[in-house]
A and B are shown apart, each in its own frame.
Chain A
């Protein structure tokens, strides 16, 4: 018995690994990212401690002692005996002595100033720029613009500057360059007017595309059912093309078809109409095209499912109805459709979930335009997390958008499981029962 259980696990392991890698991990990561302020500037792996002009601006907003800022800002480079000793040890004593005779006790606010001063040395010229910079660094008092890997070393340096404990805590928090935990993303999404728009567009997208999918899929399945089987399978293959075409190519063909330099416009100019971009002219145009693009892809899925379901209807029922004098329409309405109830429900459920998260055809076709009127939720997540002309990608916020979809998806699937009563759908085997 045990051995059989193990066999089961071995057989199912490819699926388990796939689920783990391609579903569970991304979901867990999304959940994790969405509670952070992660962006390009915070990096992904973690941060360091860095005080720069920006940090000082931030620190000033807190109630801290006045001299703290001064201690941070005015500590530049000081020529002192301690530093000179290091120079004589690392380089030459004569160099150290010359620096001493020129500049002992002098303070330089910027490294550049000290570097310029060091260039004036006569007997011990420092030839290499890099050496000059290294020597300047020896005299550094300030910790501005220096990156510290560890918090404890950073804090030690703050203690050296005699900054009190309260201020130290603030400085440490503000100078951390990495990401931190936060729930601000959720608040932000809740407060942004654009979120509600994205939600509304998603609703439009899912409901219209879904309706089109199911109705058109049903139409294809039923109409091909009444055709001779060879012709029927040819038609089905043709309608299957949108699904097997690479999306980029498929959308490109739609662009050739709809744009102002495309087929429709070319044809309409023969009738005297001005060429017009049928995809991007108005939100209505864009939505129509998007529903059609996605709808034709989705319809083939419904067509296959419905076709096989229709074939499973005992043909005796259809013959009997014909003997009773039923016409085609009556057959469809009273026999076929009632028996397709479950496949229709299944398609609806499945397609809702996949449409919620799919945005690739919209991205390729309108990229959310015109005027962001086709920016669905999933596309907004993509744009926020992975596209920004001027640099700072907001991974955290983007993940939060995605997490909302994940949550909706999980709730919807639980609902569907309950609603369909999957236990009833899976008929118990009769042999053992």
Chain B
């Protein structure tokens, strides 16, 4: 053996030792619908990677995890296209943060793997997550994902205008409970909005200033009038014609009364945020995360002094005051590599620790996912998180994880649009909706 061979042997030994010392793993995270304030969706995974690396090192496994996050997608549509195309191509990110509604189609298509295949669901911190949120991240009885955050979608009132139409401070304070008990309904909203407009407090069209595009928010109004999205016994989607018609009619009435703009849909989001955060509108509805936007970018320094929030009021006797929570979930994608999927699952588990999740919750004004977060100082001391959790989360429900829910939701929105803009009557729109949904969903739909 000459020196050269010895040298090569040593080099080989060294290299193989090197690879044994630290196994490099790259984890990519894509987060949809993620604004500047939501950066902890990716940051939490980085923190989790640090903890996991240390844990594994103690167990004698050297691993080096690099986490890469991406959140700049044009919108939800572009994000979903990007994920599905990447998954078809075999280059999907390891972890995606997305709407829980994607679980049904993506699990069916085999793009994602169940986290329950890798995690002990009875152990900390998963056993502390709210059951209803865990259920939202499951489909067909399988736990596919973990809730990433919680939110809900309240109704907002500009306090000054409530006072302007004759509310006292104590009336305003009592509003959330009056809404919850059903004593203050959408009919009252319309009445008060009319007053605000006719008294000149707000401009015409700014009495009730709703969301400008389709979203889970509108299913809330369907529920306000007694509608249910899914028949729990059969698991089929449900079209309650009477409720749907009353829900459509409410928006038609709002337009007719001059409190809502006929061409409100499609208003620029930036303009919308700025107007509602600074008192241009009397009543509106939005999401718990709006708090961050109103008090941050839009410069409302006195949120609690200017804005009251409640559940979405009931519309009639059959309906209830409600709010929809539309949690985002962490999903682990199919990489055909058990080790990678295992690591990704461990990371989302660690990122769900109360302390780490609270960072996201408070920074982005979302709600927590687990009970113990009320014992984390950061979370407990935040007025918004505490109050919103108390007023809203108890009455929150979610949209169903159903393969055809997307079709249902789009058609419901198309019907609302046509009534809102006056191109159809509510009755006609509901009849058209029925024939549209019956043809498209067939056996997946119950009409009541």
Contact = CB atoms under 8 A, between A and B. Distances in A.
Name the residue among A39, A50, A61, A283 with the largest chain B CB count within 10 angstroms: A39
A291 interface: no
Contacts of B109: 40-43, 177
Interface stretch (A80-88, A274-282, A411-419): A274-282
A54 interface: yes
A61 B443 CA distance: 11
Nearest to A48: B110
Contacts of A387: 77
A192 B439 contact: yes
Interface string B418-448: 1111111000000010011001100100000
B263 A277 contact: yes
B423 A283 contact: yes
A282 B421 contact: yes
Contact of A280 (B102, B263, B418): B263
Nearest to A279: B263
Given A42-B108, A145-B140, A391-B99, A371 B418 contact: yes
A392 B407 contact: yes
Contacts of B440: 188, 192
Contacts of A369: 265-266, 417, 421
A421 interface: no
A243 B142 CA distance: 53
B121 A370 contact: no
A44 interface: yes
A129 interface: yes
Contacts of B102: 391
Contacts, number: 158
Given A371-B417, A373-B421, A390 B406 contact: yes
B235 interface: yes
A206 interface: no
B183 to A, nearest CB: 33
B424 A388 contact: no
Interface in A56-75: 57, 61
A145 B144 CA distance: 12
B55 interface: no
B278 interface: no
Interface residues of B, number: 62
Interface stretch (B80-88, B376-384, B386-394): B80-88
Interface string B16-57: 000000000000000000000000000000000000000000
A50 B334 CA distance: 15
Name the residue among A112, A261, A391 with the largest chain B CB count within 10 angstroms: A391
A23 interface: no
A166 to B, nearest CB: 22
Nearest to A132: B120
Contacts of A192: 435-436, 439-440
Contact of A392 (B266, B403, B420): B403
A129 B204 CA distance: 61
Nearest to A190: B439
A281 B263 contact: yes
A133 interface: yes
B134 to A, nearest CB: 13
A423 interface: no
Contact of A371 (B104, B235, B404, B420): B420
Contact of A389 (B123, B403, B406, B443): B406
Contact of B214 (A43, A61, A193, A389): A389
A115 interface: yes
A274 B423 contact: no
B410 A389 contact: yes
Given A390-B406, A393-B84, A41 B105 contact: yes
Interface string B55-76: 0000000000000000000001
Interface in A226-269: 260-261
A43 B110 contact: yes
B419 to A, nearest CB: 7
A169 to B, nearest CB: 20
B117 interface: yes
B289 interface: no
B405 to A, nearest CB: 5
A150 B422 CA distance: 53
Interface in B250-302: 261-263, 265-266, 271
B425 to A, nearest CB: 12
Contacts of A261: 271
B317 interface: no
A149 to B, nearest CB: 10
A55 to B, nearest CB: 9
B118 A130 contact: yes
Contact of B436 (A194, A277, A393): A194
Given A112-B121, A386-B77, A145 B88 contact: no
A50 B109 CA distance: 10
Given A39-B105, A191-B439, A369-B417, A388 B406 contact: yes
Nearest 8 A-B pairs (CB), nearest first?
A370-B421, A371-B421, A390-B406, A371-B418, A41-B105, A280-B263, A41-B108, A43-B109
Interface of A: 39-45, 47-48, 50, 52-54, 57, 61, 112, 115-116, 119, 129-130, 132-133, 145, 147, 177, 188, 191-194, 260-261, 274, 277, 279-283, 366-367, 369-373, 383, 386-394
7 contacts: A43-B111, A192-B439, A194-B432, A370-B266, A370-B417, A371-B422, A392-B403
Given A48-B110, A367-B266, A371-B423, 17 more contacts: A40-B105, A44-B88, A52-B142, A177-B110, A260-B261, A261-B271, A274-B204, A277-B261, A277-B263, A369-B266, A371-B417, A371-B418, A387-B77, A389-B215, A390-B101, A391-B102, A393-B406
